[in-house]
């Protein structure tokens, strides 16, 4: 077989696999947004059947031969082969029956989690969680081949990262975050935003904010779901949001966050569509986009100034004192229970806590029956507040029910990358705050699209950020940004 033929045949095989993976992912979207509740068990069978098909295609015996025969003719082909080889080597380690069982169980577990969370009953979720953890440990054992179980799972979301490297970074970040937290909490908190903000008006605002961030409605849509998420890619990437009528920031910042994810997928070079390069390259890089949209852009003084005008126009006079009071309310620091609603100072402390807990669960150092106590003890120690109910504690996040162990640390890695990108973007884009103050994000998002998003999976995760920034990424810029922002806000 000639080199060209092998590459062409391999890419044709992969292209159909990518199409099927998109179908499976949309099935997940449907489950969380549209599926009638009674369809949950059947959906588990459907998910398992799709996983069976995908696993068989990803472990197809011909792939090894194609990979051996195909020499890359350019950097794009080399990157495709790298990604395909990575996926193949990972997939062949996991038996198809285990992959299918994981798909079935996590599909059903999601509904079990949602019901347990709504009822605030940990006991309703524990047997399911124990089953998911058991299956993930089996999967990790296959992948790790004697190495660390948790590292094997991290690798799915963040290639080249390890618990050790992430833990070391968290260790460097923690003292400065804790010091900042203590300094801020020692000051008087600015007034929060109070009032009633109707669901329909919030959803209209969410749509307009997505538009302000350049979201492509021809290739996307927004719906309500219990847990905000983005899903899909290519020419069909969708987001969800949620509404709390007493707290518009929940919907606003969930929406902007998911628009960041979805915009990344939709900005990838169309030449990479339906190939392994046609996705965000890692969850850390993905989170860098969602978090910079949400925080460094969306929670900045310039953009919140514009948003204040939008809010007044839609909801009438606000309870806060003008655009400055609004900016302070948006960035109010307080030790809340819920990660997704956390301010920028506390956010990474939530992640560090989950990182330690899930690593212990996967390594077998923490029994699932001890998780609630471990969570609550750690929360009290880190946040100085006692968890008042499980939905404010270990039942708050969907991740573990669907088997996402090793995913949480990528949120903080994303914040770190966002800090680097924010520094580079502000050096590269003139007058960015003047534009953001008019609600014009095009300079900021255009720079991200050109330097990060359009490249998809072409470069490795860390290289993607380094190439965009022109410097090696580290936690420094994020911490500098946080200290400067909150010292100014709290007049420290």
Residues of this chain that interact with its own copies (CB under 8 A) are 15-16, 19-20, 22-23, 26-27, 30, 34-39, 41-43, 45-46, 48-50, 52-53, 216-221, 234-236, 238, 273-274
Let me know: does 393 contact 374? Beta carbons within 8 Å: no
User: At 209, phi and psi to the nearest 5?
Assistant: -65, -45
CA distance 174 to 361: 22
Among 138, 135, 77, which Cα is nearest to 105's?
135
Active site residue 344: no
Report the alpha-carbon distance of residue 458 to residue 277 in Å, rounded. 6
Please, what is the minimum distance in Å from the beta carbon of residue 52 to its own copies? 6
Of 229, 213, 417, residue with least CA distance to 298? 213
Q: Rounded to the nearest 10 degrees, what angle do helices 409-428 and 461-469 cross at?
A: 20
User: At its nearest, how many Å lie between its own copies and the CB of residue 111?
Assistant: 12
Nearer to its own copies, 24 or 312 (CB): 24
Distances (CA, A) of 76 to 17, 270, 378: 19, 13, 46
347-350 contacts at long range (C-beta below 8 A, 24 or more positions apart) = 347/411, 347/412, 347/415, 348/170, 348/173, 348/177, 348/412, 348/415, 349/174, 349/177, 349/178, 349/181, 349/382, 349/383
* Residue 239, phi then psi, degrees to nearest 5: -125, 160
Closer to its own copies by CB, 10 or 368: give it. 10
The residue among 220 and 403 lying less far from its own copies, judged by its C-beta, is 220
Q: Which is nearer to its own copies, 3 or 199 (CB)?
A: 199
DSSP classification of residue 72? P
Q: Which lies closer to its own copies via its Cβ, residue 34 or residue 187?
A: 34
- Exactly one of 258, 265, 358, 372 is catalytic; name it: 258
Which helix H or strand E contains 430, and what residues bound it?
A: none
Task: Output 50 or 395, the one with its CB closest to its own copies.
Answer: 50
Which of these, 254, 245, 255, lies nearest to 215 by C-alpha position? Answer: 255
Q: How far is residue 186's CA from residue 178's CA, in Å, rounded to a whole number?
A: 12
Q: From the CB of 17, what's the least distance to its own copies, in Å?
A: 8
32: buried, middle or exposed (CB in 10 Å: 19+, 13-18, 0-12)? buried
Which residues have CB under 8 Å from 394's CB, separation 6+? Answer: 122, 371, 372, 375, 376
Closest approach, Cβ 232 to its own copies, in A, equals 8
Find the helix or strand (DSSP H, E) in which 320 lies.
none
> Nearer Cβ to its own copies, position 217 or 471?
217
List active site positions: 258
């Amino acid at each position: 077989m000639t080199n060209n033929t092998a590459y062409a045949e391999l890419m044709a095989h992969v292209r159909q696999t990518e199409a099927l993976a998109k179908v499976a992912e949309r099935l997940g979207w449907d489950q969380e947004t549209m599926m009638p509740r009674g369809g949950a068990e059947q959906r588990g069978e459907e998910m398992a059947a799709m996983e069976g098909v995908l696993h068989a295609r990803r472990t197809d015996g011909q792939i090894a031969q194609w990979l051996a025969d195909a020499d890359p003719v350019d950097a794009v082909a080399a990157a495709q082969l790298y990604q395909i080889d990575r996926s193949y080597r990972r997939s062949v380690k996991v038996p198809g029956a285990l992959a299918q069982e994981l798909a079935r169980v996590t599909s059903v577990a999601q509904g079990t989690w949602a019901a347990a969370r709504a009822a605030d009953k940990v006991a309703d979720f524990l047997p399911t969680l124990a089953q998911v953890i058991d299956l993930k440990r089996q999967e990790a054992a296959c992948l790790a081949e004697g190495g660390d179980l948790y590292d094997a799972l991290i690798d799915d979301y963040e290639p080249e990262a390890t618990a050790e490297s992430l833990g070391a970074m968290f260790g460097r970040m923690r003292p400065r975050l804790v010091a900042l937290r203590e300094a801020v909490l020692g000051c008087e908190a600015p007034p929060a935003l109070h009032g009633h903000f109707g669901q329909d008006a919030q959803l209209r605002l969410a749509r307009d904010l997505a538009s302000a961030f350049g979201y492509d409605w021809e290739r996307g849509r927004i719906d309500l779901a219990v847990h905000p998420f983005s899903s899909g890619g290519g020419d069909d990437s969708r987001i969800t949001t949620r509404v709390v009528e007493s707290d518009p920031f929940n919907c606003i910042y969930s929406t902007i966050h998911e628009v960041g994810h979805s915009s990344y997928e939709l900005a990838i070079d169309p030449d990479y569509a339906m190939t392994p390069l046609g996705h965000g390259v890692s969850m850390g890089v993905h989170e860098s986009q969602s978090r910079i949209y949400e925080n460094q852009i969306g929670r900045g003084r310039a953009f919140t100034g514009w948003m204040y005008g939008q809010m007044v126009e839609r909801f009438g006079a606000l309870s806060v004192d003008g655009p400055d009071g609004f900016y302070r309310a948006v960035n109010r620091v307080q030790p809340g229970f819920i990660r997704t609603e956390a301010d920028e100072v506390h956010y990474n402390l939530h992640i560090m806590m989950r990182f330690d807990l899930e690593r212990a669960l996967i390594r077998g150092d923490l029994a699932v029956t001890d998780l609630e106590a471990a969570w609550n003890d750690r929360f009290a120690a880190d946040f100085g507040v006692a968890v008042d109910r499980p939905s404010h504690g270990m039942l708050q996040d969907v991740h573990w029910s669907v088997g996402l162990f090793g995913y949480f640390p990528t949120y903080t890695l994303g914040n770190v990358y966002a800090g680097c990108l924010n520094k580079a973007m502000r050096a590269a884009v003139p007058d960015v705050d003047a534009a953001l103050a008019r609600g014009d994000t095009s300079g900021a998002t255009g720079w991200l699209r050109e330097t990060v998003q359009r490249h998809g999976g072409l470069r490795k995760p860390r290289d993607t950020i380094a190439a965009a920034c022109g410097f090696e990424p580290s936690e420094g810029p994020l911490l500098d940004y946080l200290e400067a922002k909150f010292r100014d806000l709290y007049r420290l």
